[in-house]
Amino acid sequence: MADFGANNLDAFWMPFTPNRRFKAHPRMLASAKDMHYRTPEGREILDATSGLWCVNAGHDQPRIREAIQKQAAEMDYAPCFNMGHPLAFAFASQLAQVTPEGLDRIFFTNSGSESVDTALKIALAYHRARGKGTKTRLIGRERGYHGVGFGGISVGGIPKNRMYFGSLLTGVDHLPHTHGVAGNLFSKGEPEHGAHLADELERIVALHDASNIAAVIVEPVAGSTGVLIPPKGYLQRLRAICDKHDILLIFDEVITGFGRLGTPFAADRFGVTPDLICMAKGLTNAAVPCGAVAASGKIYDAMMEGADAPIELFHGYTYSAHPLACAAGIATLETYKEDDLFARAAGMESYWQEAIHSLRDARHVIDIRNLGLIGGIELEARPGAPTARALEVFETAFDAGLLIRVTADIIALSPPLIIEKSHVDQVVETLRGVL
């Protein structure tokens, strides 16, 4: 048996991390408060990524902390199979007040990946319950990220997520991504060009036939593949084509939910209501793992009426609606509301936009894009060494007291919604220096 000392780094197989590189030069976080992390040596790190796009209300919010502590002392766990606990119903009801009108049936999961797989399964089960069991094909998009479950990587469009785990990824097709359309470089907000790319869905429908297609899933704004903002009118067009062919539209709002775009959901910002919304991350301010799928009444009712078994949706998790997650989630929704954080994000958007676009003349920068409190800064890749420059920027920024996220050669920024102008200035000035 391996005998790792208590402080040895070998036993933890780290997720989405070059393990050998990290373990040679570890980078640790020890505590967090509001906009900052602190390292074990006591160095302050400004968090420009809300952890991993998830601590939307800022770190260590007292309401959330206290709600978790109270709940832990009261009831640690309760199953939700064939029984319930009051907080689960309360959390679902309160969440249904925040989701777009009509999307008021809530299924709880524990992560974004689980929310995506849950939404895909609901889409398949829904069509079957209506006697349309041939509608099984799922349509994703190139450069989409929908977590790491087999459903999510199937509809996702990240080559590395697909190349290593390929054999189960069948029954899907992909829309083209919306990025790199001529005339969109350095766009502020939604880019002007590219709405026509939604029409590719008509081509896919013509190829497979609508009778075989269950759902289209997209991130309204794609984050993990480098901040791809939808062209003006694109999501509206997808909605119209889905309606025309009785195809469900799923928004994966794992990163766009809970104020990231200055509205509760991206659906609100774009004025496009999907049939299902996947969420996680900001749902509990990341204080306890939790995800959810919001489904329309149309879907829920069809399942209740048409399912051919007493358990209408044969799906669920041991930890669906975990009491600590529900307590954290309710306190998170209260925090967003009482501190008016979504409006706060909206109020900061133009300052944020101008600040990050001021990096246009910084070294290596080839594009900048933004929406809400999201920013993407694309760097010219080092010849023969793609991703190396961004990784170096990430490491140097960390040493300079700034936490950013990089993907390929793109810096992705998504600060907590409590960010102040002075923090925005610090983000930009640190990055300028690092570049």
- Residues of this chain that interact with ligand PLP (CB under 6 A) are 111-113, 116, 145-147, 219, 223-224, 252, 254-255, 280
Task: Judge contact between 113 and 150, C-beta under 8 A.
Answer: no
- Closest approach, Cβ 309 to ligand PLP, in A, equals 28
Nearer to ligand PLP, 280 or 427 (CB): 280
With CA atoms as reference, report the closest residue to 121 among 107, 104, 110, 103.
107
Mapped onto helix, strand or coil, the DSSP state of residue 19 is: helix
Shortest gap between Cβ of 224 and ligand PLP (angstroms)?
Answer: 5
How far apart are CB 418 and ligand PLP at their closest, in Å? 21
Q: How far is the CB of 222 from ligand PLP (least distance, A)?
A: 7
Give the β-pairing of 374-379 and 365-371: antiparallel
Contact 174, 141 (CB under 8 A): yes
Q: Which is nearer to ligand PLP, 194 or 226 (CB)?
A: 226
Rg (CA), the chain: 22
Cβ partners under 8 Å of residue 415, min gap 6: 35, 47, 48, 49, 50, 373, 423, 424, 427
Nearest approach, Cβ of residue 51 and ligand PLP (Å): 11
Separation CA 74–CA 72 (nearest Å):
5
Residue 52 Cβ vs ligand PLP, minimum distance, rounded to whole Å: 6
Nearest residue (CB) to ligand PLP, 129 versus 394? 394
The per-residue b/e assignment along 374-391, b for 16 or more CB within 10 angstroms, e otherwise, is bbbbbbebeeeeeeebbe
Phi, psi of 141 (to 5 degrees): -145, 145
Least distance between ligand PLP and beta carbon 159 (Å): 17
Closest approach of ligand PLP to the CB of residue 314, in Å: 22
60: alpha, beta or left, given left = phi > 0 and alpha = psi -120 to 50? left
Nearest residue to ligand PLP, by Cβ distance, number only: 112
Smallest distance from the beta carbon of 393 to ligand PLP, in angstroms? 20
List all residues 6 or more positions away from 242 whose beta carbon is below 8 Å from its beta carbon.
201, 216, 248, 249
Residue 238: C-alpha distances to residues 23, 176, 205, 217, 233 (Å) = 44, 12, 12, 10, 9
Give, in degrees to the nearest 5, the angle at Cα 228 between 225 and 190.
170
**How does DSSP classify residue 177?**
P
For ligand PLP, give the closer residue by CB, 223 or 329.
223
Q: Please identify, using beta-carbon distances, which residue of 16 and 422 lies nearer to ligand PLP.
A: 16
Nearer to ligand PLP, 146 or 239 (CB): 146
Name which of 243, 281, 246, 248 is nearest 265 in CA terms.
Answer: 281
Measured from the CB atom, is 88 or 412 closer to ligand PLP? 412
Residue nearer to ligand PLP on the CB measure, 61 or 118: 118
Q: How far is the CB of 335 from ligand PLP (least distance, A)?
A: 20
Whichever of 228 and 303 has its CB closer to ligand PLP, that residue is 228
Closest to ligand PLP by CB, 51 or 100: 51
Contact present, 243 and 190 (Cβ < 8 Å):
no
Alpha helices in 209-359 (DSSP H): 234-244, 266-270, 297-306, 323-338, 341-357
